[in-house]
Structure 1
Amino acid sequence: MRKENMHQSVEVIYKKVDECPIVNSQFSFFQLVYVISGNGLLRINGNAISYQTGNLMLLTPNDYHTFDIHTTTEFLLVKLNSEFVKQYKSGSIDHIECLLHYATHLSGCILKRKEDEFLVKSISEALIHVVNNKDIYDEDLMIHYVNALIVIAARNIAKVKPSGIKESVDKRILEIINYIQANIYCPQKIKISVIAVQFDISETYLGSYFKNHCGETIQSFVSNYKIRLIEHRLSFSDMRINEIVEEFGFSDESHLNKFFKKHKDISLTGYRKAKVFPN
């Protein structure tokens, strides 16, 4: 696997390709990928997600991916050094790094607001103009457009946060959620007792603190997030059930099936068949 790093804060690249120039890459930085034209599949972390013209996708640090290009595709790539993201300042977005990590690649395109599609298209055209027409203060102008793109990405990603989470959520809640998402495949690490120790909070207080800020219990959040990921594996990957069992740390297929059926009222195979052969 090819590991790619970057040393500058921001890099904007335009590419028109018939096949992915780099196969199975892994990044150490955030990357926004806007599809100017074309369609195909984004294969990310073992899953396949379709992409098409107008999609905006977010690749987070340590993702590994490749593109299966079905028709000639024009990409605008906006690479963001992790240090740039950590230091990002905005009047209303305090914790942009935690927020960007909410992107879970469940739908590929992170745009949830229809009205933002025009804005992203316009900003992308402006960035391409800056890249192709060098002039004084280019870097300042590019950063201005990139910041606008970050804000649009952030407010769309916010749509997939826990539904009850407050707008003025405490930074530590974002860190707890980020920790859970990062360790969702390790059951031992997302036990209430372990999370409490990790964030130096008592188990009793952690439960009420999380529910007060997120509108659901921490156990419910963990289960719902895990279910969403499993749904995605069943819908968009060719992973076998036993592979999903191993990935999420279940004891066996029966254990996973019981967990899934409790939340979705359908078996794993039933769910997959319904997605492959819808009525």
Structure 2
Amino acid sequence: MDYLHNTFAIEIASFDEWQGRSRKNNFFELVYILDGKGSQSVNYVEYPYQKNGIFLLPTAKCHQYIIKEPTKFLFVRFTGSYFVPGANDQVDYSSWFSRLNYIIGNHSHHPGELIDDPNDRLQVKRLLDVILFEYELKETCFTFIIQNTLVSILGVICRNIQRKILIGRTFTDSKFADLLNFISFNILDADKLSVSYLSEKFHIAETYFSEYFRRNASERFQDYVIKSRLRIAESRARYTELPLQDIASELGFTDSSHLNKMMKKHFGKGMREIRKEEANTAI
């Protein structure tokens, strides 16, 4: 792995036969099949891959690629620190980090193609080709270009996940879907999730906002926000080894006890129980 930034790394690797790779269970990888054919196996569930396939490999302990034809991979690894903006970052990537957390909280973590929409798949392929080109050329500013290209890729991935979530749902107010998208993509930004901010942005009377949201979503606004953050917390518990206190802090909960209490209230099980379940599944 070539660590181009403290939050992500890139590797190009060719295999005739799959070899285990050193990995720490605090990240996930975007995998682009440059050439070859075979199957991706995650927790013993297989899905075929071929050239130009795009996959998201979660931090599952049991994974491999069953290679049928010699395969060349482009791996883009997102480390655990990738989910929290750094104090020294020169560029404001706050929306970027929110989208990463949105992907972690809403992706199925099952094997299979990451993007269903053919136009979006083509778009991501083009962007991955930019990353490949810049990585191999290694000219001035190539790391910065790769980093910004990743921002666009994550945006397209989020759009596909959001489509799947909203499929079959209809709203009496057409702008409500835009409101949900905005909330989802800014789920960790408390200022942007204030009723006053959202009311002004979406031209909804502040005194009417809570009723408006409940009427369209069939649940309270604050419950929706908390559940969205809890889904991210659940995925972090299952697919990373990050300390529960760190997860709680990063997601805006007072401490791990507060997070655990809210998880039990809304989903019926605590964080340690969720992490233990995943550990037993991977055995």
Task: Bin the TM-score by the shorter chain.
Answer: 0.5 to 0.7
Equivalent residue letter for 2:230: I
CA–CA separation in structure 2 for the residues paired with 1:107 and 1:65? 9
CA–CA separation in structure 2 for the residues paired with 1:196 and 1:30? 23
SS in 1 for 2:118: coil
Return closer, same or farther for 1:21/1:196 CA change in 2, 3 Å cut-off: closer
Which residue, 74, 78, 89 being the options, matches 2:94? Answer: 89
CA–CA separation in structure 2 for the residues paired with 1:24 and 1:136? 29
* Unaligned segments of structure 1, at least 5 residues: 185-194, 207-217, 220-245, 248-279
Partner residue in 2 for 1:173: 227
Return closer, same or farther for 1:200/1:137 CA change in 2, 3 Å cut-off: closer
* Unaligned segments of structure 2, at least 5 residues: 86-92, 170-176, 185-223, 239-257, 269-279
Partner residue in 2 for 1:108: 112
Aligned residue pair count: 195
CA–CA separation in structure 2 for the residues paired with 1:180 and 1:140? 32
Which residue, 43, 64, 67 being the options, matches 1:66? Answer: 64
Deviations, residues 61-118 of structure 1 (Å, cap 9, x unaligned) = 3443111111121211111112122335228x83531433422244511102210122
* Shift in Å, 1:19: 1.6
Worse-superposed segment, 123-132 or 175-184? 175-184
Return closer, same or farther for 1:182/1:150 CA change in 2, 3 Å cut-off: closer
Deviations, residues 104-153 of structure 1 (Å, cap 9, x unaligned) = 24451110221012212211221111111121112111111122222222
* Shift in Å, 1:182: 7.0
CA–CA separation in structure 2 for the residues paired with 1:181 and 1:90? 19
Larger relative contact order, structure 1 or 2 (CA cutoff 8 Å, min sep 6)? 2
CA–CA separation in structure 1 for the residues paired with 2:44 and 2:22? 10
SS in 1 for 2:151: helix
Partner residue in 1 for 2:243: none
Which residue, 39, 42, 61 being the options, matches 1:41? Answer: 39
Equivalent residue letter for 1:89: S
Which residue, 245, 251, 261 being the options, matches 1:198? Answer: 261
SS in 2 for 1:100: helix
After TM superposition, the structure 1 = structure 2 runs for residues 264-279 of structure 1, keeping only pairs within 5 Å, are none
- In the superposition, the TM-score normalised over structure 1's length comes to 0.57
After TM superposition, the structure 1 = structure 2 runs for residues 88-237 of structure 1, keeping only pairs within 5 Å, are 88-90=93-95, 94-106=98-110, 108-161=112-165, 163=167, 164=169, 166-167=180-181, 168-169=183-184, 170-179=224-233, 198-199=261-262
CA–CA separation in structure 2 for the residues paired with 1:124 and 1:44? 23
Is the contact made by 2:99 and 2:158 (CA closer than 8 Å) also made in structure 1?
Answer: no
Equivalent residue letter for 2:134: V
CA–CA separation in structure 1 for the residues paired with 2:34 and 2:106? 24
Is the contact made by 1:23 and 1:66 (CA closer than 8 Å) also made in structure 2?
Answer: no
